[in-house]
């Protein structure tokens, strides 16, 4: 039962990752103005890109729904609100899907004021680039772990104390050359007044979304962040190079629910492509 579920999830993750790679290809192409004698194909890129985004959105939403279905607790919801963007070069880390929701949550044992995270990760994602995931995180520790070359950083939601938000995440650098970070999320946010749908809605506008994916080679500055995510990035600050950075995830706060409906408009255009 659980085994079949995790296999389903594995498949979905795989499909989503492939769509992610395809999307990155699209974005890279459209950014590097290659339409000398390929204007026709070039003009289709926005459509292709939006389609890929739609596929991506579908995977993410399905994964989210799948997890919410099996949510037995009322405290620790198992939700996925994260899309990952694979590195440009292939990342040799097929093992990370094994970690995804390998079981249900376990009850925490609070003793005094010292609480540990529940042992079941909510979501694991790999990325090579910086991320703004729409939430404000507060770093509360870092560790060098055995058999790991790089630091692992611990973050909790900034609203842990004023709103009791239980979400935390760990960011582990796992590769140097193409920088690669594995982010593990635990719990989910209750600090934002989202409705019942925590689902990631992919924006149909290339102008908004492609900004996130254009960072493959250069790290964004603080100013760039503030341009993209004016509402959430007030606490961002530049970090020294060797400090583990957040990875790049499409910003949930940018994706209005109305955008999701827009995606349906492209459905009939799909036939004319290829």
Partner DNA sequence: GGAATTTGACCCAT
Partner DNA sequence: ATGGGTCAAATTCC
Residues 134, 252 contacting (CB under 8 angstroms): yes
**d(Cα 166, Cα 219) in Å, to the nearest integer?**
29
Q: Is 147 in the site for DNA (CB under 7 A)?
A: yes
Q: Is 224 in the site for DNA (CB under 7 A)?
A: no
Q: Is 141 in the site for DNA (CB under 7 A)?
A: yes
Cβ closest to DNA, residue 127 vs residue 233: 233
Pseudo-torsion of CA 65, 66, 72, 76, nearest 10°? Answer: -60
The correct pick among 40, 112, 196, 223 for binding DNA (CB under 7 A) is: 112
Compute the least distance from the CB of residue 244 to DNA, in Å.
Answer: 8
Q: Is 245 in the site for DNA (CB under 7 A)?
A: no
The correct pick among 237, 241, 272, 274 for binding DNA (CB under 7 A) is: 237
> With contacts defined by CB under 7 A, how many residues of the chain interact with DNA?
32
Compute the least distance from the CB of residue 15 to DNA, in Å.
Answer: 28
Q: Where are the beta strands (DSSP E) in the chain?
A: 123-127, 137-144, 151-157, 168-175, 180-186
**d(Cα 248, Cα 85) in Å, to the nearest integer?**
7
The correct pick among 47, 154, 215, 266 for binding DNA (CB under 7 A) is: 154
Listed ranges 57-65, 110-118, 206-214, 252-260: which one lies at the site for DNA (CB under 7 A): 110-118
Q: Is 205 in the site for DNA (CB under 7 A)?
A: no
Residues 6+ apart with CB under 8 A from 262: 204
Q: Cα 51–56–60 angle (5° rounding)?
A: 150
Question: Closest by alpha carbon to 242, among 192, 166, 169, 173?
Answer: 173
Residues 159 to 198 in contact with DNA, rule: CB under 7 A: 168, 170
**d(Cα 116, Cα 107) in Å, to the nearest integer?**
10
Q: Is 240 in the site for DNA (CB under 7 A)?
A: yes
In the complex, the residues that contact DNA under the rule CB under 7 A are: 109, 111-117, 119, 136-143, 145-147, 152, 154, 156, 158, 168, 170, 235, 237-240, 243
């Amino acid at each position: 039962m659980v085994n079949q579920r995790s296999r389903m999830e594995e498949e979905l993750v795989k499909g989503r990752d492939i769509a992610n790679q395809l999307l990155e290809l699209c974005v890279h192409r459209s950014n590097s103005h290659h339409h000398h004698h390929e204007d026709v194909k070039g003009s289709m890129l926005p459509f292709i890109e939006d389609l890929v985004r739609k596929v991506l959105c579908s995977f993410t939403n399905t994964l989210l729904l799948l997890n919410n279905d099996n949510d037995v607790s009322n405290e620790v919801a198992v939700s996925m609100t994260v899309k990952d963007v694979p590195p440009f070069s292939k990342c040799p880390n097929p093992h990370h899907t094994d970690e995804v929701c390998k079981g249900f949550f376990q009850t925490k044992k609070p003793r005094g004021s010292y609480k540990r995270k529940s042992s079941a990760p909510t979501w694991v994602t790999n990325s090579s680039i910086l991320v703004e995931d729409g939430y404000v995180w507060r770093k509360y520790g870092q560790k060098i772990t055995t058999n790991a070359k790089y630091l692992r950083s611990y973050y909790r939601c900034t609203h842990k104390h004023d709103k009791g938000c239980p979400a935390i995440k760990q960011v582990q650098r796992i590769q140097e050359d193409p920088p690669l970070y594995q982010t593990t999320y635990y719990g989910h946010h209750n600090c934002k007044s989202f409705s019942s749908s925590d689902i990631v809605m992919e924006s149909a506008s290339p102008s908004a979304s492609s900004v996130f994916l254009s960072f493959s080679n250069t790290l964004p500055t603080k100013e760039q962040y503030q341009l993209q995510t004016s509402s959430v990035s007030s606490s961002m600050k530049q970090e020294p190079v060797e400090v583990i950075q957040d990875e790049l995830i499409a910003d949930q706060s940018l994706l209005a629910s109305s955008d999701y409906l827009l995606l349906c408009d492209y459905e009939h255009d799909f036939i004319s492509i290829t």
